[in-house]
């Protein structure tokens, strides 16, 4: 039986164009610029100086604060600059710029393809290793993984859920790692289960990835406590709350955390990174990035070092086509539009998507015809048309009554609106206001 979440959701076209193209390693760029703010929370503090020689995998920045993560060099070479550079949205963010010289790795990193199945570390040692490796959630939010794997006092994890849904159209990077490296992912799940002290792990995969389901099922048999759950195709199935609902049928309470249902959700990419960090001593320095779009001559999946400029990725598929109108980092539903192509990839980058004007241009805004389709599509059971109106009139109190803080910003409302009303744009602003008011009230 195929499972899915109960409320709302939309069915955008699949568009998994790069499903069958094998993974390639992207040639090293001449320089990389590694962002210090790749994770949710405080930016990392650089510990290298201009002129320092670094090796692949060497620590170059330390976490500053509780919610933060260290950053490692993804290339070997000389530190050329430590300066603010524009990120993909054009805002300055501290970067460490490294000129690439050769490809020399730290000696303790195991680069052999051998599978390491033995694990003797304790839960604390595993968490420490994950923290040191700078691993963050690779599903998009980039929340430091070691914090997510240490439930707050009083809360107990019962089950680990691996997110292999890849519910966004176009993306195929998770699909490929599940097909190519199922054992490593399963081992990563085992490691995280041990860190959490849980005996059960579900791997949720949408039905449009039959090869991945098969590969993960075979891997799951080899390891205990794992179960692959085939899910119906529906967006936003990869949302944490939706995935928990789909797989174990529990609903995260309003203003609560996923751990309140006893579930911890991790992306399959994170599981792979955990395996590599714990068993192979490899910090998070590269990731799988899908470069896709109908207007591109080829669509490919690349293994990319963190800090590679987006322009290099586009060059690798033959440059930006003439009719390209929007370039997105991430999927088309929640990804960010890139305004600066010299910006570089970060840990949580998953795709570079090129869309044409026809595919992406918003339709002109018309009057609301009160069809209620946005409310039908909202996976949190909110009323986007109402929230939009309240946000426009600047009424934070009423927005709070209407539970705007539950909004997961999935974009289903805007996707579905026949009148082309920018629902989510304003709801997002209103939500930020309400959250600010709620936080100040707590203090």
Partner 1 sequence: MSNLIVSPSPHLHGPESTRRVMGDVLIALLPVTLVALLCYGWSVLILLLSGVATCVLCEYLINRFLLHRPCSVGDLSAIVTGVLLVLNLPPAAPWWIAVVGAVVAIGIAKMTFGGLGQNLFNPALVGRVFLLVSFPVLMTDWTIPHGLLQDHLPSLSAQVDAFSGATPLGVAKEGLGAGSTLQELFAGGQFNWNMFFLRPGGSVGELSALALLVGFLYLLCRRVIKVTIPLTIVATVVVLSAIFSAVDPARFTGPLFNVFTGGLLLGAIFMATDYVTSPMTTLGQIIYGVGIGVIALCIRYFGSYPEGVSFSILIMNCVVPLLNKYCKPRRFGKEAK
Partner 2 sequence: MTIVYTIACLVALGLFFAVVLYFVAQKFKVEEDPRIGQVESLLPGANCGGCGNAGCRAFAEKVVAADSLDDFFCPVGGNEVMARIAGALGREAVEKEPMVAVVRCQGTAEHCQKLNRYDGAPSCRVAATLYSGETGCRWGCIGLGDCVSACEFGGVHLDPRTHQVSIDTGLCTGCGGCARACPHHVIELRPRGPRGRRVYVSCVNQDKGALTRKACTIGCIGCGKCAKVCPFEAIRIENNLAYIDYTKCKGCGKCAAECPTHAIVATPIEK
Determine if 315 is a binding residue for partner 1 (CB under 8 A). Answer: no
432 binds, options partner 2, partner 1, none, Cβ within 5 to 8 A by partner type: partner 2
Q: Is 340 exposed, middle or buried (0-12, 13-18, 19+ CB in 10 A)?
A: middle
Indicate the SS3 state at residue 188.
helix
Nearer to partner 1, 181 or 312 (CB): 312
Nearer to partner 1, 279 or 416 (CB): 416
- For residue 85, the minimal CB distance to partner 1 (Å) is 18
Nearer to partner 1, 252 or 278 (CB): 252
Nearer to partner 1, 78 or 339 (CB): 339
State yes or no: cis peptide before 235, omega within 30 of 0. Answer: no
Distance CA 380, CA 153 (A): 27
- For residue 320, the minimal CB distance to partner 1 (Å) is 6
Element (H, E) at 77: strand 77-86
Nearer to partner 2, 356 or 360 (CB): 360
Contacting partner 1 (CB under 8 A), which of 110, 211, 315, 406? Answer: 406
Nearer to partner 2, 301 or 329 (CB): 329
355 binds, options partner 2, partner 1, none, Cβ within 5 to 8 A by partner type: partner 1
Nearer to partner 1, 159 or 328 (CB): 328
Distance CA 185, CA 112 (A): 17
Distance CA 14, CA 18 (A): 11
Distance CA 347, CA 39 (A): 8
Encoded one letter per residue, x for contact with partner 1 by CB under 8 A and - for no contact, window 411-440 reads xx-xxxxxxx-x-xx--x------------
What six digits make up the tokens of 159?
């089950």
- For residue 95, the minimal CB distance to partner 1 (Å) is 21
What six digits make up the tokens of 129?
């290793």
CB 46 within 8 A of CB 82: yes
Nearer to partner 2, 277 or 391 (CB): 391
- For residue 42, the minimal CB distance to partner 2 (Å) is 20
For the chain, what is the radius of gyration of the CA atoms? 21
Site residues, partner 2 (CB under 8 A): 86, 89-91, 326, 337, 339, 360-362, 422, 425-426, 428-429, 432
Encoded one letter per residue, x for contact with partner 1 by CB under 8 A and - for no contact, window 233-262 reads --------x---x-----xxxxxx---x--
What six digits make up the tokens of 5?
């979440």
Crossing angle between the packed helical segments 123-132 and 182-196, to the nearest 10 degrees:
120
CB 426 within 8 A of CB 391: yes
CB 39 within 8 A of CB 70: no
Contact stretch for partner 1 (CB under 8 A) within 61-69, 116-124, 387-395, 406-414: 406-414
328 binds, options partner 1, partner 2, none, Cβ within 5 to 8 A by partner type: partner 1
- For residue 135, the minimal CB distance to partner 1 (Å) is 25
Contacting partner 1 (CB under 8 A), which of 298, 325, 432, 438? Answer: 325
Distance CA 310, CA 335 (A): 14
Nearer to partner 1, 178 or 328 (CB): 328
Determine if 166 is a binding residue for partner 1 (CB under 8 A). Answer: no
- For residue 362, the minimal CB distance to partner 1 (Å) is 6
Distance CA 77, CA 29 (A): 12
Q: Give one DSSP letter per residue of 326-361, joined into a string.
A: EEEES-TTT-EE-S-TT-B--TT--EEEEEEHHHHP
Closest Cα partner for 333 from 424, 434, 221, 405? 424
- For residue 431, the minimal CB distance to partner 1 (Å) is 13
Q: Is 42 exposed, middle or buried (0-12, 13-18, 19+ CB in 10 A)?
A: middle
80 binds, options partner 1, partner 2, none, Cβ within 5 to 8 A by partner type: none
Nearer to partner 2, 155 or 363 (CB): 363
Encoded one letter per residue, x for contact with partner 1 by CB under 8 A and - for no contact, window 344-383 reads ---------x-x-x-xxxxx--xxxxxxxx-xx-xxxxxx
Dihedral-angle region of residue 47 (phi above 0 means left; psi in -120 to 50 means alpha; beta otherwise): alpha
Nearer to partner 2, 78 or 340 (CB): 340
Distance CA 421, CA 413 (A): 9
Determine if 85 is a binding residue for partner 1 (CB under 8 A). Answer: no
CB 202 within 8 A of CB 249: no
Binding region for partner 1 (CB under 8 A): 7, 10, 12, 169, 241, 245, 251-256, 260, 320, 322, 324-328, 332-339, 353, 355, 357, 359-363, 366-373, 375-376, 378-383, 385, 403, 406, 409-412, 414-420, 422, 424-425, 428
């Amino acid at each position: 039986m195929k499972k899915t979440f109960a409320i709302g959701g939309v069915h955008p076209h699949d568009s998994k164009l790069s499903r069958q193209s094998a993974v390639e390693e992207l040639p090293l760029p001449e320089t990389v610029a590694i962002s210090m703010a790749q994770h949710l929370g405080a930016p990392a503090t650089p510990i290298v100086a201009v002129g320092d020689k670094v090796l692949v995998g060497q620590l170059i920045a330390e976490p500053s604060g509780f919610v933060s993560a260290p950053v490692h060099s993804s290339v070997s070479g000389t530190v050329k600059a430590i300066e603010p550079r524009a990120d993909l949205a054009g805002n300055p963010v501290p970067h460490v710029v490294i000129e690439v010289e050769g490809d020399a790795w730290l000696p303790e990193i195991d680069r052999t393809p051998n599978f390491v199945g033995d694990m003797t570390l304790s839960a604390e040692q595993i968490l420490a290793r994950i923290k040191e490796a700078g691993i963050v959630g690779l599903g998009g939010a980039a929340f430091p993984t070691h914090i997510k794997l240490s439930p707050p006092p009083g809360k107990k994890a019962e089950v680990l859920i691996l997110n292999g849904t890849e519910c966004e159209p176009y993306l195929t990077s998770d699909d490929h790692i599940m097909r190519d490296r199922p054992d490593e992912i399963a081992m990563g799940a085992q490691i995280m289960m041990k860190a959490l002290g849980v005996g059960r792990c579900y791997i949720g995969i949408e039905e449009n990835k039959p090869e991945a389901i098969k590969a993960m099922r075979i891997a799951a048999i080899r390891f205990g406590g794992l179960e692959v759950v085939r899910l119906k195709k529906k967006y936003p199935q990869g949302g944490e709350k939706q995935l928990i609902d789909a797989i174990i049928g529990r609903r995260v309470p309003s203003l609560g955390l996923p751990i309140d249902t006893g579930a911890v959700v991790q992306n399959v990419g994170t599981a792979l990174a955990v395996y590599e960090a714990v068993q192979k001593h490899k910090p998070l320095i590269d990731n799988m990035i899908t470069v896709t779009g109908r207007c591109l001559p080829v669509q490919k999946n690349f293994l990319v070092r963190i800090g590679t400029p987006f322009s290099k990725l586009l060059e690798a598929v033959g440059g930006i086509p003439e009719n390209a109108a929007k370039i997105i980092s991430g999927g088309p539903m929640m990804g960010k539009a890139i305004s600066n192509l010299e910006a570089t990839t970060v840990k949580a980058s998953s795709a570079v998507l090129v869309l044409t004007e026809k595919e992406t241009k918003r339709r002109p805004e018309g009057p609301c015809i009160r069809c209620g389709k946005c409310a039908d599509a909202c996976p949190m059971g909110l009323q986007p048309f109402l929230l939009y109106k309240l946000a426009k009139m600047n009424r934070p109190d009423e927005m709070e009554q209407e539970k705007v803080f539950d909004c997961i910003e999935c974009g289903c409302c805007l996707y579905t609106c026949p009148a082309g009303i920018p629902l989510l744009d304003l709801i997002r602003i209103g939500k930020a206001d309400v959250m600010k008011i709620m936080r100040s009230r707590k203090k």
